[in-house]
Amino acid sequence: MEPTPLTEPISLTAALASFSERWSPRIVTAVNDYDVRVAKVEGEHVWHAHDHTDEFFLVLDGELHIGLREPAGERTVVLPKGSVFTVPRGVEHKPYAPVPTQILLFEPTGTLTVGDRHDPVPGHVDATTGHALP
């Protein structure tokens, strides 16, 4: 019988090696009602907002920039490898990776990658609630 996320450790390295698509997260495990997702990203995502949940980012490799539209104006946060950042619920944001980057996301199960409100979704962005690992 193959190991399941509930009984065996999951290698993030193996999980990330199992797919190549960009901006198309895979669900590696769940914690209560939250998914832990990994994704490979490069280039721009889309401006979007999650009205009912914060969004947690951990940069495993590479560098992630997140544009934020806040009441005081627009700004960009830069997350080098090993950095974490949480986008508060309701804040419009746009992730961008200037180099191939690997990230871990923590958000409620069923949360769309393009949020509740978003600009038109480009073809290279997968509007999904996450995919199972192969």
Q: Sorting pLDDT into bands at 50, 70 and 90, what band is 6?
A: low
Residue with tokens 């996450």: 130
The reported pLDDT for the residue numbered 66 is 98
Q: What's residue 94's pLDDT?
A: 97
In sequence order, which residues have a C-beta less than 8 Å from that of residue 64 and are 6 or more positions away?
Answer: 41, 57, 78, 79, 83, 95, 96, 97, 101, 103
The tens digit of pLDDT for each residue in 16-74 reads 999 999 999 999 999 999 999 999 999 999 999 999 999 999 999 999 999 999 999 99
pLDDT value at 1 more than 90: no
User: Kind and range of the H or E element at 13?
Assistant: helix 12-17
**124-130: long-range pairs with CB below 8 Å, 24+:** 124/22, 124/23, 124/43, 125/23, 125/45, 125/46, 126/21, 126/23, 126/24, 126/25, 128/24, 128/25, 129/35, 130/25, 130/26, 130/27, 130/35, 130/37
pTM of the full predicted structure? 0.92
Q: Please state, for a pLDDT cut of 90, what percent of the chain lies above it.
A: 88
